[in-house]
Amino acid sequence: MHFKVRAAAKEDCKEISRMIMELAVYENMPDQVKTSHEDLERDGFSPNPFYECLVAEVPDEHKTKDASSSLCVGGQDTLGSSTRQVKRLKCCPNDGYTVVGYALYFYTYSTWKGRSVYMEDLYVMPDFRGKGIGTGLMAKVAQVGVEKQCVRLQFSVLEWNKPSLDFYIAKGAEDLTAKEGWHFLRFHGQSLDTLAKEAPKD
Amino acid sequence: MDRFKLRKAEPKDVPDILRLIKELAKYEDMEDQVILTEKDLLEDGFGDHPFYHCIVAEVPSEKQSNNSPVVIGFAMYYFTYDPWIGKLLYLEDFFVMEEYRGFGIGSEILKLLSHTAVKTRCSSMHFIVAEGNQASIEFYKRRGAADLSLEEGWRLFKIDKSSLLKMSSGPKE
């Protein structure tokens, strides 16, 4: 199947937002998505963007025949009891999608090695998997990273997500949590606010 | 230790920042992995497109004997993005020299970082810690940090430059 990988434009944010939700459903965490496509537009397409994004699109003859995203409501709930918590997206054009995957990434910094690129999300719609689109998206992120003199690409995967784990390991990825014992920690919500209130005054 | 000051790092702090980066790497038994130079730090932190921001902790020089450093701690951070909740503050490195620990300097740095996160509309502050570093894990957990690797099963992966080059020059679509 012929596909194209290109830099996302502001107009793609509705499609990206749809796919972000699809990925969250796949990861069993749909109620954790709080961003809207307007947030994505503001945060990715201002003079100081907080992320960059690539989209994969297929020509019109391959696009989905109908609203096949599990999130498209068309007036009725499609996810049963969990739908109330899921943002209901009325973004599906009647003639199907051309954007079928995305990779969202940003630049980070290692005090040991310098510039790095972190791939936050990589997603291809289920009907379009197994055709090299995920590989194509990731290869483009790698290419962008190399052009920007990044020394490595990092990302995180849920430990139960075997298809993704196999996909990445086949490409030379190393599991640093297993190999070096790194754990992700965070201060979120109340714990962040509590700490912030005790900060020294300016 | 009654007087210390936290401030934004300036270009002149780069030699001290690199010194502290190497001390932190030594603490983590990975000193030989630091390949960054002062020139890299200067260009990457204080150029047109900064890749990081840095806070330093300093003690007044009149209180130090000759040759003792004035900058005795640092925290390096940058902004990342979570498509579910938006902007995040990512804490990359956080270190206070051994002889200055136990005086609350680390706590104050963490509070200032949290304040910066909230002020810049970040929903969360993220970082990684090696599971063998129990002292640091306890420090963070006492202050309300959650371990997402344990709670949600996230594992960190990397792909090094040689594999990146191979991937980026692979077959086109």
Cα–Cα distance for residue pair A105/A120, rounded to 1 Å: 5
- Token readout for B40 is 């890299």
Q: What angle do CA B112, B113, B118 make, to 5 degrees?
A: 95
Give pLDDT, residue A55: 97
ipTM: 0.80
Cβ within 8 Å of B, A 91-120: 104, 106-115, 118, 120
Interface test mutation site (partner A, options B158, B161, B165, max chain A beta carbons within 10 A)? B158
Give pLDDT, residue B48: 84
Find the distance separating the first CA and the last CA of chain A, reported in whole Å: 58
Side by side, the strands of the sheet bearing A52-57 are: A4-7, A52-57, A99-110, A114-124, A152-158, B154-160, A174-175
Give pLDDT, residue A1: 75
Cα–Cα distance for residue pair A85/A200, rounded to 1 Å: 38
- Cβ–Cβ contact A167 with B under 8 A: no
Cross-chain CB nearest to B84 (options A32, A138, A177): A32
Test B124 with A186 for CB contact under 8 angstroms: yes
> What predicted TM-score, i.e. pTM, was given to this entire model?
0.82
Residue B109 has pLDDT above 90, yes or no: yes
Whether A140 contacts A157, CB under 8 Å: no
Test A151 with B161 for CB contact under 8 angstroms: yes
Test A35 with B83 for CB contact under 8 angstroms: yes
- Cβ–Cβ contact A41 with B under 8 A: no
- Cβ–Cβ contact B33 with A under 8 A: yes
Across the A:B interface, residue pairs with CB atoms under 8 Å apart total 261
Give pLDDT, residue A194: 82
B95 vs A192 pLDDT, higher one? B95
- Token readout for A44 is 């990715």
Cα–Cα distance for residue pair A70/A4, rounded to 1 Å: 24
Residue A70 has pLDDT above 80, yes or no: no
